[in-house]
């Protein structure tokens, strides 16, 4: 560490910047999963949706030249996969976790299969907002180079919280998630509400995938996802099914994931293999300390308890 | 009493439908579907070599499938087979290294015992967390997979590294004499035999003993099981121990029959593929055997699809995904075809 | 498209004299152990196995390009398989190529395929040649039908280091590496030693990602390094695409690896170390056709044409080009020795005493477990 002069502030800013970059796909997938779970279903297939979103988003951006068309294409792919999930789950005796695992496999497989010709080409990437241009420090400039999708995600989290709380449709979703019987008594079509929720959740997960291929790390490759889609399901649980907490959880997880590389880059060289496990250990510890066997988790939709 | 034909007819029909769908998919992708099926058959079951190739790939899948199937019978969805394979393989390798000069049978027994114990405890911890802390077992088992892999990498690159393993860091070798051999004159290692034995033994336990009966009751309705005085907690822990032991044994076999050392190749996705096998076999230990062989065959023929038909490696993932989805969708058909049950009724 | 007769590929269209000669050559090259029946009809089957996708812009693609260059030889039938893990899968992939495709020469290209997988399968098929990329064939330990080949790519990395040393303004270089294994450490050391030969104050910061293909971690490592003020970045991972693109996006310089990545960074790309497997595979094919005995060990650098430098980018100064070209020609002539004492490691220990030197071919270098002075990083995970 002889000549590496570093200021604590710079590291902090770098970690925050990393948290935003790494956390954004988690944010979108966990918001999508949050919506789906609030309606009473778990969709483990979002990992497959994420990969399909990343692939179609990249492909659409490459073919059309517009990254935003890519984002839309990714979202629509997510809608289709969400629809398949919902359609299968509403059949009798079909377990939603199993369907999720199947869609994860199929989504990943299809993305790898159809994405072969997309590994080489370079597609138009999403633009970012240079919020750090006031500063001379390249570190701050880089950290505040924030993608528009992140901004949308940040606005979406409280908007979704508001939606659950105050809107009529939000009430439907919550009711269906709390008690299907009560919802039926109110005259709601339980399957339809769940289908829309899963499709909308799929849309968000698909958009999260497009962030991976169209912004960060950028490009399409088979190693693009390191389980973000699965981890987002865990994040929803420790975010207590609250969209705003999903935002915090995603950022925290993103920060934990950037800690390893950041510490190495300033010369902290010991134990990087263990640091790679930090996000997972952190999540597990939080889950263990905040769960309880005697009461249901606060915020947990009642209909999830039978699959919990 | 005649058994219902449903558990045979429906999966076979679903399998045929999946193949048809896969055929349409690859035709759309520009491949010659009939040729592809011919290659798949040739690569998986067409020759004695292909059969051996298929069976040897089925070996770890049988054991990792048990890791998901057993807990599922009591209502726990555990996807932690990968982690149990890794920790089981790791401790088995350590045991083999420590005992390397003992007689091979002692070494192998000790390795299997240690691998099964750590694998078992690993999964039992997941269900204990679920029971005592209410931690969702699906998520905690997933997290523990990543943690197991990180621990293994740390050990293999650090304290346990054999300095002779230059560009692929690994632990020391357990000793050539201690390797698990192949069955007879085949090229199929004993992992296959052990997998079949484990599936059959656990099938007997689950289907023909009071223990298995109690597990099924607890899996059907926990509250009713508790009311009727069943020790649900103990059943959960024991089932998870057995499940983890199966995956731990898979890890031990990878070390003892294939690598001779523990290294990052233990993390070969057998745990994840086992989840599919378990669900398609509907968590029935006996049905796991043919399903694992089928999946072994799909993997075995994947190379031929690449070489003969220029299809990407992911085609086998697509096929597996289609099979899985169609099988799940077919779940809803059970009990709908009265003619398939005719004999049962008249009996 | 293709027809099989059970033990070899049949070509029923064109039978040239050359092919006959070639096939005869194989029979001799492989020790005459193959059955002699109908030899003139057969093509030479060559099988390639990659550990990752064949179009990864990196290591696997470099081999795929090498394999593709054989297409012009109509008496060679080359098959390949991608994404084959270093488990029993590779054993079965090799056997499947031998049994079902009649392959006679195998090229398993990932380091981890060697021990135990090739060593286990090779004795079963004494008439098939197993040529492994990266391993060190040892006559006293390994079967005769096994061989290995590898390029001293660290020579090209050294040249890149010279260019990096000339280009860097901050004096801080960054290296994103998969894991601390000898091949990787040697590249890091070469890069650093070269840069420090230009400017002794230069440091190289290393980040190990822990895996060969982890795009998100690679991008994060690149950003962290750039945040710490490094201005030239290079890497040793399977696919350098993300690293090079991130460097370009952040406006710093980069050096490529495995294949030519110049198009990914039109502004900041300096040069890079590239494999030239086409040369290796065509040479092997040539040997087979001429009936020369295939050597068990093929290694080489610039001189043998196994590695090359990517063309210089526009950011490279004339002075840098001049020195880099000079260093390359001294590698060509064999006069260049990188590991010439005194060399200290980054803990201050003298690893190579003054007056002692290790030539490029020295086996001692193949077990490198230290980082040279000026590298910020640690080999201990």
> In terms of domains, do B339 and B266 share one?
no
B residues 133-172 lying closer than 8 A (beta carbon) to C: 153-154, 157-158, 163, 166-169
Distance (Å) from the alpha carbon of C159 to chain B's nearest alpha carbon? 23
In a domain, A150, yes or no: yes
Radius of gyration of chain A (CA): 20
pLDDT confidence of residue A305: 55
**Residue A280 to residue B143, Cβ atoms within 8 A:** yes
Query: Structurally, how many domains does chain B consist of?
Result: 2
In a domain, B27, yes or no: no
What does the pLDDT look like over A158-190, one tens digit per residue? Answer: 999 999 999 999 999 999 999 999 999 999 999
In a domain, A225, yes or no: yes
> In terms of domains, do B287 and B334 share one?
no
pLDDT confidence of residue C28: 42
pLDDT confidence of residue C2: 37
A17 interfaces chain C, CB cutoff of 8 Å: yes
pLDDT confidence of residue B256: 96
In a domain, A81, yes or no: yes
B317 interfaces chain A, CB cutoff of 8 Å: yes
Percent of chain B clearing pLDDT 90 (strictly above): 76
Of A219, A222, A270, the CB nearest to C380: A270
Nearest CA in chain A to B151: A274
> In terms of domains, do B153 and B251 share one?
yes
Q: Which residues pair with C274 in a beta bridge?
A: C258, C308
Closest alpha carbon to B164 in C366, C291, A231: C366
What does the pLDDT look like over B110-153, one tens digit per residue? Answer: 999 999 999 999 999 999 999 898 888 988 999 999 999 999 99
How do the pLDDT tens digits run along chain A, 308 residues long?
333 445 677 778 888 888 999 999 999 999 999 999 999 999 999 999 999 999 999 999 999 999 999 999 999 999 999 999 999 999 888 888 889 989 999 999 999 999 999 988 888 889 888 888 787 777 777 778 889 999 999 999 999 999 999 999 999 999 999 999 999 999 999 999 999 999 999 999 999 999 999 998 988 988 888 788 888 888 898 788 999 999 999 999 999 888 888 888 887 777 777 888 888 998 899 888 877 766 666 678 877 754 43
In a domain, B26, yes or no: no
**Residue A288 to residue B135, Cβ atoms within 8 A:** yes
> In terms of domains, do B224 and B118 share one?
yes
Closest alpha carbon to C298 in C276, C272, C325: C276
Cis, bond preceding A217 (omega within 30 deg of 0): yes
Residues of chain B neighbouring C92 (CB-CB closer than 8 A) = 53, 56-57, 300, 303
> Could you tell me if A56 and A205 are in contact, meaning their C-beta atoms sit under 8 angstroms apart?
no
C256 interfaces chain B, CB cutoff of 8 Å: no
> In terms of domains, do B139 and B284 share one?
yes
pLDDT confidence of residue C34: 42
> In terms of domains, do B324 and B210 share one?
no
In a domain, A2, yes or no: no
Distance (Å) from the alpha carbon of A27 to chain C's nearest alpha carbon? 15
Spatial neighbors of A301 by CB under 8 A, at least 6 apart, are A37, A38, A39, A40, A174, A177, A178, A241
Phi/psi at A271 (5° precision): 70, 35
CATH of the domain at B263: 1.10.3470
> Could you tell me if C148 and C131 are in contact, meaning their C-beta atoms sit under 8 angstroms apart?
yes
How far is it, in rounded angstroms, from Cα B225 to Cα B127?
A: 17
A residues 256-295 lying closer than 8 A (beta carbon) to C: 257-258, 260-262, 264-267, 269-273, 276
How far is it, in rounded angstroms, from Cα B141 to Cα B146?
A: 9
Neighboring chains of C (3 or more beta-carbon pairs < 8 A): A, B
pLDDT confidence of residue A140: 79
What does the pLDDT look like over B79-116, one tens digit per residue? Answer: 999 999 999 999 999 999 999 999 999 999 999 999 99
> In terms of domains, do B168 and B215 share one?
yes
What ipTM was predicted for this assembly?
A: 0.89
A223 interfaces chain C, CB cutoff of 8 Å: yes
> In terms of domains, do B90 and B235 share one?
yes
B230 interfaces chain A, CB cutoff of 8 Å: no
Residue B282: domain span: 32-310
DSSP letters of C208-246? E-SSS--HHHHHHHHHHHHHTT--EEEEESS-THHHHHH
Q: Which residues of chain C have pLDDT under 70?
A: 1-42, 381
Average pLDDT of the residues in B312-319: 92
Q: Are strands C350-352 and C343-344 parallel, antiparallel or unpaired?
A: antiparallel
Residue A17: domain span: 8-306
**Residue A21 to residue C57, Cβ atoms within 8 A:** no
Q: Which residues of C have a CB under 8 Å from any CB of A?
A: 52-53, 55-57, 83, 171, 174, 201, 203, 205-210, 213-221, 223-228, 239, 241-242, 245-246, 249-250, 263-264, 376-378, 380-381
Q: Largest alpha-carbon pair distance within chain B?
A: 70
Query: Structurally, how many domains does chain A consist of?
Result: 1
Closest alpha carbon to C375 in C234, C259, C211: C234
What are the C-alpha distances in Å from A59 to residues A66, A118, C18? 10, 7, 45
> Could you tell me if C87 and C103 are in contact, meaning their C-beta atoms sit under 8 angstroms apart?
no
pLDDT confidence of residue B5: 79
In a domain, B10, yes or no: yes
> Could you tell me if A213 and A237 are in contact, meaning their C-beta atoms sit under 8 angstroms apart?
no
Residue B346: CB atoms within 10 A of its CB come to 8
pLDDT confidence of residue C150: 92
In a domain, B197, yes or no: yes
In a domain, B22, yes or no: no
Spatial neighbors of B38 by CB under 8 A, at least 6 apart, are none
What are the C-alpha distances in Å from B327 to residues B90, B277, B288, C50? 35, 11, 14, 33
> In terms of domains, do B332 and B276 share one?
no
In order of start, what are the domains of chain C with their CATH numbers? 17-151 (3.40.50.2300), 153-273+308-334 (3.40.50.2300)
Interface test with A, best of C83, C172, C181, C223 (most A CBs within 10 A): C223
Q: Which residue has the tokens 């990196």?
A: C58
Phi/psi at C205 (5° precision): -95, 130
Burial of A65 (0-12, 13-18, 19+ CB in 10 A): exposed
> In terms of domains, do B328 and B231 share one?
no
Percent of chain B clearing pLDDT 70 (strictly above): 96
In a domain, A121, yes or no: yes
CATH of the domain at A220: 1.10.3470
**Residue C182 to residue B303, Cβ atoms within 8 A:** no
Phi/psi at C271 (5° precision): -165, -170
Q: Which residue has the tokens 């399903």?
A: B291
Distance (Å) from the alpha carbon of B55 to chain A's nearest alpha carbon? 22
What are the C-alpha distances in Å from A154 to residues A144, A198, A243, A249? 14, 21, 10, 12
B29 interfaces chain A, CB cutoff of 8 Å: yes
> In terms of domains, do B323 and B191 share one?
no
pLDDT confidence of residue C75: 87
> In terms of domains, do B44 and B111 share one?
yes
Spatial neighbors of A12 by CB under 8 A, at least 6 apart, are none
**Residue C134 to residue B167, Cβ atoms within 8 A:** yes
CA angle B224–B230–B231, rounded 5-degree value? 125
Whether residue B309 is predicted with pLDDT greater than 70 in this model: the reply is: yes
How far is it, in rounded angstroms, from Cα A87 to Cα A168?
A: 24
In a domain, A257, yes or no: yes
């Amino acid at each position: 560490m002889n000549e590496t002069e570093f200021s604590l502030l710079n590291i902090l800013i770098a970690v925050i910047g990393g948290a935003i970059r790494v956390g954004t796909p988690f944010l979108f997938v966990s918001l999508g999963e949050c919506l789906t779970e609030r309606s009473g279903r778990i969709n483990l297939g979002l990992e497959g949706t994420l990969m399909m979103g990343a692939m179609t988003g990249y492909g659409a951006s490459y073919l059309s030249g517009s990254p935003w068309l890519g984002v839309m294409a990714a979202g629509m792919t997510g809608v289709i996969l969400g629809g398949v999930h919902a359609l299968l789950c509403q059949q009798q005796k079909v377990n939603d976790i199993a369907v999720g695992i199947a869609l994860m496999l199929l989504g990943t497989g299809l993305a790898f299969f159809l994405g072969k010709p997309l590994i080489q080409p370079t597609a138009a990437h999403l633009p970012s907002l240079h919020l750090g241009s006031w500063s001379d420090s390249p570190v701050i400039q880089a950290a505040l180079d924030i993608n528009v999708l992140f901004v949308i995600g940040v606005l979406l989290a409280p908007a979704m919280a508001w939606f659950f709380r105050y809107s009529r449709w939000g009430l439907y979703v919550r009711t269906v998630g709390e008690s299907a019987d009560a919802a039926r008594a109110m005259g709601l079509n339980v399957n339809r509400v769940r289908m829309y929720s899963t499709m909308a959740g799929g849309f968000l997960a698909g958009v999260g995938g497009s962030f991976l291929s169209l912004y960060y790390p950028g490009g399409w490759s088979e190693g693009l996802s390191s389980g973000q889609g699965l981890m987002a399901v865990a994040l929803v649980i420790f975010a207590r099914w609250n969209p705003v907490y999903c935002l915090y959880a995603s950022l925290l997880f993103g920060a934990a994931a950037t800690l390893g590389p950041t510490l190495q880059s300033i010369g902290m060289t010991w134990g990087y293999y263990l640091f790679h496990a930090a996000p997972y250990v952190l999540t597990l510890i939080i889950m263990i300390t905040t769960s309880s066997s005697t009461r249901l988790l606060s915020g947990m939709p009642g209909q999830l308890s039978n699959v919990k | 009493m005649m058994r219902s034909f449903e558990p045979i007819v429906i999966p076979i029909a679903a399998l045929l439908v999946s193949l048809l769908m896969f055929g349409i998919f690859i035709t759309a992708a520009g491949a010659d579907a009939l040729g592809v099926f011919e290659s798949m058959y040739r690569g998986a079951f067409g020759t004695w070599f292909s059969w051996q190739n298929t069976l040897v790939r089925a070996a770890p899948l049988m054991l990792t499938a048990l890791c998901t199937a057993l807990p599922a019978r009591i209502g726990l969805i555990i996807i932690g087979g990968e982690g149990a394979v890794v920790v089981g393989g790791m401790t088995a390798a350590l045991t083999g290294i420590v005992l390397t000069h003992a007689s091979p049978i002692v070494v192998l027994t000790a390795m299997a015992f240690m691998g099964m114990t750590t694998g078992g405890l690993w999964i039992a911890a997941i269900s204990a967390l679920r029971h005592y802390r209410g931690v969702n077992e699906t998520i905690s088992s997933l997290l523990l997979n990543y943690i197991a892999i990180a621990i293994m990498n740390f050990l293999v690159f650090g304290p346990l590294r054999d300095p002779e393993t230059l560009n692929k860091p690994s632990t020391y070798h357990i000793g050539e004499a201690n390797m698990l051999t192949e069955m007879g004159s085949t090229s199929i290692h004993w992992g296959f035999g052990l997998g079949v034995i484990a599936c059959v033994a656990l099938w007997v336990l689950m289907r023909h003993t009071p223990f298995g009966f109690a597990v099924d009751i607890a899996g059907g309705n926990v509250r009713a099981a508790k009311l009727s005085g069943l020790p649900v907690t103990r059943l959960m822990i024991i089932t998870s121990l057995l499940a983890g032991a199966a995956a731990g044994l898979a890890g031990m076999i990878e070390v003892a029959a294939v690598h001779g050392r523990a290294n990052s190749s233990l993390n070969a996705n057998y745990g994840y593929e086992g989840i599919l096998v378990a669900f398609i076999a509907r968590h029935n230990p006996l049905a796991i055997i043919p399903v694992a062989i089928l999946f072994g065959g799909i993997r075995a023929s994947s190379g031929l699809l690449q070489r003969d038909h220029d299809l990407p490696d992911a085609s086998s993932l697509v096929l597996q995904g289609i099979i899985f989805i169609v099988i799940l969708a077919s779940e809803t058909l059970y009990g709908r075809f009265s003619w398939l049950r005719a004999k049962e009724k008249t009996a | 498209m293709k027809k099989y007769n059970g033990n070899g590929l049949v070509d029923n269209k064109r039978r040239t004299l050359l092919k006959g000669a070639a096939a005869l050559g194989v029979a001799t090259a492989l020790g005459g152990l193959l059955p002699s029946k109908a030899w003139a009809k057969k093509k030479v089957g060559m099988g390639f196995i990659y550990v990752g996708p064949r179009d990864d812009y990196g290591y696997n693609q470099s081999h795929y390009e090498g394999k593709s260059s054989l297409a012009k030889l109509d008496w060679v039938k080359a098959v390949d398989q991608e994404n084959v893990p270093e488990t029993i899968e590779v054993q079965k992939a090799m056997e499947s190529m031998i049994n079902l495709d009649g392959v006679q020469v195998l090229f398993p290209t990932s380091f981890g395929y060697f021990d135990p997988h090739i060593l286990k399968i090779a004795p079963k098929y004494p008439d098939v040649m197993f040529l492994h990329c990266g391993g060190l064939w040892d006559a006293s330990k390994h079967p005769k039908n096994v061989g290995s080949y590898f390029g001293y790519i660290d020579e090209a990395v050294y040249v890149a280091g010279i260019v990096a040393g000339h280009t860097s303004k901050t004096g801080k270089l960054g290296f994103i590496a998969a894991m601390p294994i000898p091949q990787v450490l040697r590249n890091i050391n070469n890069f650093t030693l070269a840069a420090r030969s230009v400017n002794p104050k230069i440091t190289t910061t290393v980040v190990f990602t822990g895996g060969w293909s982890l795009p998100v971690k690679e991008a994060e490592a690149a950003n962290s390094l750039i945040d710490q003020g490094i201005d030239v970045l290079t890497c040793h991972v399977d696919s350098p695409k993300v690293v090079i693109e991130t460097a370009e996006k952040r406006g710093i310089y980069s050096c490529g690896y495995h294949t030519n990545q110049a198009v990914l960074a039109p502004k900041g790309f300096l040069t890079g170390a590239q494999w030239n497997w086409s040369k290796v595979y065509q040479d092997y094919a040539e040997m087979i056709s001429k009936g020369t005995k295939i050597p068990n060990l093929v290694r080489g650098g610039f001189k043998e044409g196994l590695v090359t430098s990517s063309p210089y980018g526009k950011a490279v100064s004339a002075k840098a080009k001049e020195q880099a070209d000079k260093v390359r020609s001294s590698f060509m002539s064999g006069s260049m020795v990188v590991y010439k004492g005194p060399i200290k490691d980054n803990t201050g220990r003298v690893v190579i005493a003054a007056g002692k030197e290790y030539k490029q071919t020295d086996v001692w270098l193949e077990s490198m477990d230290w980082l040279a002075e000026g590298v910020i990083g640690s080999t201990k995970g």
